[in-house]
Structure 1
Amino acid sequence: MLSIVESFFIFIAISESILGILGNGFIGLVNCMDCVKNKKFSVIGLLLIGLSTSRIFLIWLIMTDGFVKIFSPHMYNSGKLIEYITYLWVIINHSSIWFASSLSIFYFLKIANFSHRIFLWLKRRINRVIFLLMGLLLVSWLFIFPQIVMIVNDTKMKNRNKTEPLYMAKSDYLTFQFFLNIGVIFLFTLSLIACFLLIISLWRHSRHMQSNVLGLRDPSTEAHVKAVKVLVSFIILFILYFIGLAIEISCFTVPENKLLFIFGVTTAAIYPWGHSLILILGNNKLKQASLKVLQPLMCCWKEKPLRTP
């Protein structure tokens, strides 16, 4: 039986999941319609479609895994379910972070101003850079999957004659989590570097505008500020996401603390829907489309006649 506090956090997690599915579904739908309308696929459109799709699957995976562990932990006894969720987690979680990191690098290369030869070379070949990052993602999968399969099979062999839930030594579990998240850490590091360099570019550009007495609200500065907001929000939300995952992982050592685990799930679920909201507010096309959707709803709500007794 769940306590009032546990039920409250589960309600928040479900609300976050619904908002995340709606927000990411909206981003994917708008960009798909834009691609069909223009009869061509842009890099930014493909990144946003891939990001929104992977996050919808990520939300379903987080909530499915969380609810199974909360309400039906015995389903993990056979090891099959945890094996399937582990493999899906590697693919979906890495894909989600890859699309977000690629989007951050795309904003950086498109908007930042540097005179260094390497940056100019990358800026002229922005599409190739995205494909290069995809290659790094595939290489990370080729490195990670054999390690994950080996650890999972070894754990199943050690527990084949046991009827209680699967047991994994603490050192093996930490190694398992390291391989699960090593690719994510690398991609997140690239986003941090892109955000840091973009902030430097904004600072230099602002100083240049001040020295020329042209003000700070020129189009380039506006683009810089919007991109910095999107990147910083991604970093903050991803840190919260990582904290939530760390809390869930720590519950391996304190399996009876159900409230702590539910709090970890709730914290991790903030990232998929929160960043989608930031993307909608920071992208003019998505913002205008959202206003077109919300405006009729607001008009209907305002025009709804009041019932008199």
Structure 2
Amino acid sequence: MLGFIEGVFLVLTITEFILGNLVNGFIVSINSSCWFKSKKISLSNFIITSLALFRIFLLWIIFIDSLIIVFSYHNHDAGIIMQLIDVFWTFTNNFSIWLISCLSVFYCLKIASFSHPSFLWLKWRASRVIVGMLWGALLLSFVSTVSLMNEFKIYSALTGSKDTPNMTEYIRLKRQEYDLIHVLGNLWKIPSLIVSLVAYLLLLLSLGKHTQQMQQYSIDSRDQSTEAHKRAMRIIFSFLLFFLFYFLSFIILSSSRFLPETRIARIIGILISMSYLIGDSFILIVCNNKMKQTFVAMLPCECGHLKPGSKGTLCFIK
């Protein structure tokens, strides 16, 4: 029988899992259909589509992990299944975080305006820079995944030494080393966060400079450049805000073994992780006019007076 906490956790997990797949699946379907129709796709839409696809994989990984916590918690940290989950989780998660960082840099290079030679050099080669970042992100994600091998070796040594007498001190040291490596694994997320933060600050400075120029020449500040700045900043800021909660979930999950209520800590960390994968993807839809219009057009609602016999209309927000 499931306890009250496990039951609530299972319901919330299933709800977030379904919502996350719907939101990210919507992004993949819209961009993929446009790709197939026009036979081409912009670099930004390619990144967004890849991000949504990797987030669907993440949702499945987290969902499977949640089921293990609910129905077989005593096997959560043991066995080849959990090692496979760790491998897929580490690679998919790190690469998806770098994808949003690449998107932040792309918006910064395309929209921000600075006269510094280094920035201009990057701006003129924006597509090449982003493609290079994508290859670098792929490499870093692979390296971070390979680094798990050391963690698995330590865990295997701990498991093999449990039945060996007079190994208490050895087990204690190995346990400390394992816990330290597990916690320090979160440091792989820091570089991508810094990259996105720098992109946001550059956009903020560029917007301030642009607004000042508009006021100096008595031009309406609500021009296309200003709107593009604000739209890109909303996307990057939402990522930074959601990522702080997402990073909090990493801290909770990796440090749960040090907390008195290990199972509750892991439950909280998983719920925060899935909320991020839903919320940030929804922001991407809202900040993209085409996807927002398609998404809103799919929402049935009653608008004004309905004709006799009609079941409803589609509500469209411009």
Residue matched to 2:197:
192
Q: Spell out the pairing of 1:119-268 with structure 2 (5 A cutoff).
A: 119-141=119-141, 143-160=143-160, 162=162, 169-179=175-185, 181-254=186-259, 256-268=261-273
- Offset, 1:123: 1.2
Instruction: Kindly indicate whether the alpha-carbon contact (under 8 Å) linking 2:91 and 2:145 is maintained by their aligned counterparts in 1.
Output: no
Matched, 1:17 2:23: no
- Aligned partner letter, 2:58: L
Instruction: Kindly indicate whether the alpha-carbon contact (under 8 Å) linking 2:20 and 2:56 is maintained by their aligned counterparts in 1.
Output: yes
Q: Which runs of 5+ in 1 are unaligned?
A: none
What is the rounded CA distance, in whole Å, between the counterparts of 1:189 and 1:107 in structure 2?
Answer: 16
Larger mean Cα displacement after TM superposition, 61-70 or 87-96: 61-70
- Offset, 1:171: 3.6
- Offset, 1:147: 2.7
Aligned residue-pair number: 299
1:78-132: CA deviation from partner (whole Å, max 9, x where unpaired): 4212211111112110121121111111111111111111111111111111122
Residue matched to 1:117:
117
Q: Which has the higher contact order (CA 8 A, sep 6+)?
A: 1
Change (3 A) 1:282 1:142: closer
Residue matched to 2:95:
95
Secondary structure of residue in 2 paired with 1:215: coil
Instruction: Kindly indicate whether the alpha-carbon contact (under 8 Å) linking 1:107 and 1:227 is maintained by their aligned counterparts in 2.
Output: yes
- Aligned partner letter, 2:22: L
What is the rounded CA distance, in whole Å, between the counterparts of 1:36 and 1:244 in structure 2?
Answer: 37
Secondary structure of residue in 1 paired with 2:147: helix
What is the rounded CA distance, in whole Å, between the counterparts of 2:10 and 2:180 in structure 1?
Answer: 27
Secondary structure of residue in 2 paired with 1:113: coil
1:200-255: CA deviation from partner (whole Å, max 9, x where unpaired): 11111111111222122111111111111111000000111111221222221236
Change (3 A) 1:252 1:282: same
- Aligned partner letter, 1:211: Q
Residue matched to 1:27:
27
- Offset, 1:135: 2.9
Change (3 A) 1:69 1:200: same
What is the rounded CA distance, in whole Å, between the counterparts of 1:266 and 1:98 in structure 2?
Answer: 22
- Offset, 1:160: 2.6
What is the rounded CA distance, in whole Å, between the counterparts of 1:155 and 1:204 in structure 2?
Answer: 54
Secondary structure of residue in 1 paired with 2:213: helix
Instruction: Kindly indicate whether the alpha-carbon contact (under 8 Å) linking 1:137 and 1:183 is maintained by their aligned counterparts in 2.
Output: no
1:28-54: CA deviation from partner (whole Å, max 9, x where unpaired): 110011111111122012111100000
Matched, 1:284 2:286: no
CA RMSD of aligned residues (A): 2.4
Secondary structure of residue in 2 paired with 1:45: helix
Instruction: Kindly indicate whether the alpha-carbon contact (under 8 Å) linking 1:240 and 1:270 is maintained by their aligned counterparts in 2.
Output: no
Secondary structure of residue in 2 paired with 1:234: helix
What is the aligned-residue identity percentage?
35
